[in-house]
Amino acid sequence: MMKDFPAIYNSKSGYEAIMALYDSAIANAPVQYETATVETRYGHTHVLIGGPQNGKPIVVFHGWNGNAAGVGSEFPFLFDSFRVYIPDIIGHPGRSSANRPETIGSTYADWTADVLDVLHIQKPIVMGISGGGWMTLKFASYYPRRVSQAIVNSTDGLSSTNTWGMASGMLPVALFPNRITADWFLKFMTSPHTSKGELAQGFAETMRIFIKHFKTQGNPGLLIDNELRQIVSPLMVLMGEYERLFKPQIAVERARSLIPGLVSAEIVPNAGHLVTVDQPDWLKQRVLKFVETGM
């Protein structure tokens, strides 16, 4: 008997809870969205769109095991002058296809190219956080002529995961997804020296619900050296000082040694994995400077 909810969710009620959370995030976002659904070779893809229609296009990829609905709250400044496109990555808890292709090779880059082709986006800025940074690096590697500039923040793909950190930070909430373990996870993902406001608390609660109801997908992993060597578009890499999912110094050093298009690889002071929580003003200024001046 066929399920009446996607197989990447644990139950129909869990699927409905996550979709309700998605709708609530859009309704309460500090920016306004339009929506589109496009067909790709890997299944339908839902896209949130905002900002001025004549703005320079920027494609933003959300984090792994996340969705597009929270990006407007993380990067509201982009919507002032850019035309912002945020796809729900396939196989994740958004409104796109539940299909999960292999992460090895060009598959996710090909999917991205399909999305951009249908939306008639030729050469956007491409930006991603965490697993969305991996998406950005993949696309910039396999489709270098389609990227005007690239920004990756707290990215996967440049260093291996911090196994001990992953276990100590994520295992409690994975085994017991409640508010206590969600708060523990939030502390693990952020700097110990910053206040945790509404955005941070919303992240913790969202991840608790995702982990409880969604069959998470393992981190996509390293890009190989030859993939990184194909990235010739101007690229900025930002890794938090207190990053615990990945190894920030190794990520920065690998980017510097392998990526021809690298403009800057920086350790963000007093920031963990969630730079958007720990250093939102710093991040805004640094991103805007890069896209406006290339430096």
% of the chain residues with pLDDT over 90: 91
Whether 234 maps to a domain, the answer reads yes
Q: Which of 110, 134, 138, 139 is nearest to 124 (CA)?
A: 139
Q: Which amino acid is at 252?
A: V
Q: What band does 222 get if pLDDT is binned at 50, 70 and 90? A: very high
Whether 2 maps to a domain, the answer reads no
What number is the average pLDDT over the span 176-202? 92
141-153: burial string, b at 16+ Cβ within 10 Å, e else: bbbeebbbbbbbb
- Domain holding 44, by residue range, is 12-293
SS3 (DSSP) at 116? helix
SS3 (DSSP) at 46? strand
Whether 172 maps to a domain, the answer reads yes
Distance between alpha carbon 121 and the CA centroid of its chain, in Å? 19
Q: Tens of pLDDT along 77-116?
A: 999 999 999 999 999 999 999 999 999 999 999 999 999 9
Whether 274 maps to a domain, the answer reads yes
Q: Which of 170, 73, 196 is nearest to 129 (CA)?
A: 73
Whether 4 maps to a domain, the answer reads no
**Given this model, what pLDDT does residue 1 score?**
36
Whether 257 maps to a domain, the answer reads yes
Instruction: Give the residue ranges of DSSP H helices in the chain.
Output: 12-27, 71-74, 107-119, 131-142, 163-175, 179-189, 198-213, 225-229, 248-258, 275-278, 280-293
Q: Residue 84 class from Cβ within 10 Å (0-12 exposed, 13-18 middle, 19+ buried)?
A: buried
Whether 6 maps to a domain, the answer reads no
Q: Which of 286, 224, 292 is nearest to 259 (CA)?
A: 224
- Angstrom distance (rounded) from CA 290 to CA 146: 18
Token reading at 53: 């229609």
Q: Tens of pLDDT along 37-62?
A: 999 999 999 999 999 999 999 999 99
Q: What band does 169 get if pLDDT is binned at 50, 70 and 90? A: confident
Number of domains into which the chain is organized: 1
**Given this model, what pLDDT does residue 162 score?**
85
Whether 7 maps to a domain, the answer reads no
| CATH code of the domain containing 223 | 3.40.50.1820
**Given this model, what pLDDT does residue 3 score?**
63
Half-sphere exposure of 200 (CA within 13 A, CB side): 24
